[in-house]
């Protein structure tokens, strides 16, 4: 079995688990609950990942892989490259769309961290809002093309970002602002891979 440092709250861990379900590899991964916090490094994780981040995957031969994209590339290579095209323009379009979706998740996590601080920086809060207000319309504009592509790491990450906004950023009102993204995301969220990996505060 492979071992995955895991948490039910982490959208990046969820990327790996949704990919594993899509690829039929979920039963080869044993999950280990690993508690991380930006302000409180998980010391027991540092020997395996000095950045102290999850997901971190340990293969049967002891090889360690991070971050989420590298892990998904690895799983995808086991299953015949179904989530990330192997080459050509489709590969770079998929990776660029993934970068937008995962970068948006990074932004949301940093934003949440800032706003939970005792004395948040207004400049930072404003900067996060400016970027979110640019990203949501960009996603709404591209969702038709993204939805027309095969299921891949970009769609997976985007659907997870939608659920993450529901989970932590109800005040963004993203579903009302992005009706096409909303409709597509509801459909994707019904896939068994998404249903099997709910994000919960546990
Ligand atoms: N780029 C990384 C991001 C992973 C990440 O930020 N994970 C969070 C949990 S959602 C974490 O481990 N945070 C702990 C920390 O930053 O110290 C990936 O895609 O795997």
Q: Are 68 and 49 in contact (CB under 8 A)?
A: no
Residue 139 has pLDDT above 90, yes or no: yes
Q: Give the single-character DSSP code of 40.
A: B
Residue 37 has pLDDT above 90, yes or no: no
The single residue listed with the structure tokens 């280990």 is 32
CA-to-CA distance for 128 and 131, rounded, in angstroms? Answer: 5
Name the residue of 36, 107, 109 to mutate for ligand 1: max ligand atoms within 8 A of Cβ. Answer: 36
Higher pLDDT, residue 37 or 108? 108
State how beta strands 56-58 and 64-65 pair: antiparallel
Structure confidence at residue 39 as a pLDDT band (50, 70, 90): confident
Query: How many C-beta neighbours within 10 Å does residue 77 have?
Result: 11
- 106-110 long-range Cβ contacts below 8 angstroms, 24+ apart: 107/131, 107/132, 107/135, 108/132, 108/161, 108/164, 108/165, 108/168, 108/169, 109/11
- Total-model pTM: 0.97
For the residues of 152-186, what is the DSSP string, one character each? -HHHHHHHHHHHHHHHH-GGG-HHHH-HHHHHHHH
Reported as a single tens digit per residue, the pLDDT across 51-60 is 999 999 999 9
- Over residues 140-157, the mean pLDDT reads 98
Does 54 contact ligand 1 (Cβ within 6 A)? yes
**Residue 117 CA to ligand 1 centre (angstroms):** 18
| Closest approach atom of ligand 1 to CA 51 | 17
What is the CA 156 to chain-centroid distance, rounded?
8
Instruction: Report residue 39 as tokens.
Output: 């302000």
**Residue 14 CA to ligand 1 centre (angstroms):** 11
């Amino acid at each position: 079995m492979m071992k995955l440092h895991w948490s039910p709250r982490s959208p990046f861990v969820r990327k790996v688990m949704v990919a594993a379900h899509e690829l039929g590899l979920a039963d080869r991964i044993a999950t280990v609950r690993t508690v991380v916090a930006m302000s409180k490094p998980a010391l027991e994780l540092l020997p395996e990942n000095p950045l102290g981040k999850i997901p971190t995957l340990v293969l049967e031969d002891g090889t360690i892989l991070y971050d989420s994209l590298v892990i998904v590339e690895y799983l995808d290579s086991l299953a015949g490259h179904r989530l990330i095209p192997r080459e050509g323009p489709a590969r770079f379009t998929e990776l660029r769309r993934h970068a937008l979706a995962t970068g948006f998740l990074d932004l949301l996590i940093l934003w949440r961290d800032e706003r939970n601080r005792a004395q948040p920086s207004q400049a930072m809060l404003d900067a996060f809002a400016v970027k979110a207000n640019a990203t949501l319309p960009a996603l709404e504009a591209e969702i038709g093309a993204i939805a027309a592509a095969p299921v891949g790491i970009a769609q997976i990450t985007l659907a997870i970002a939608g659920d993450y906004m529901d989970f932590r950023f109800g005040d963004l009102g993203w579903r009302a602002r992005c009706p096409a993204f909303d409709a597509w995301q509801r459909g994707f969220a019904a896939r068994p891979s998404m249903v099997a990996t709910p994000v919960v505060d546990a």
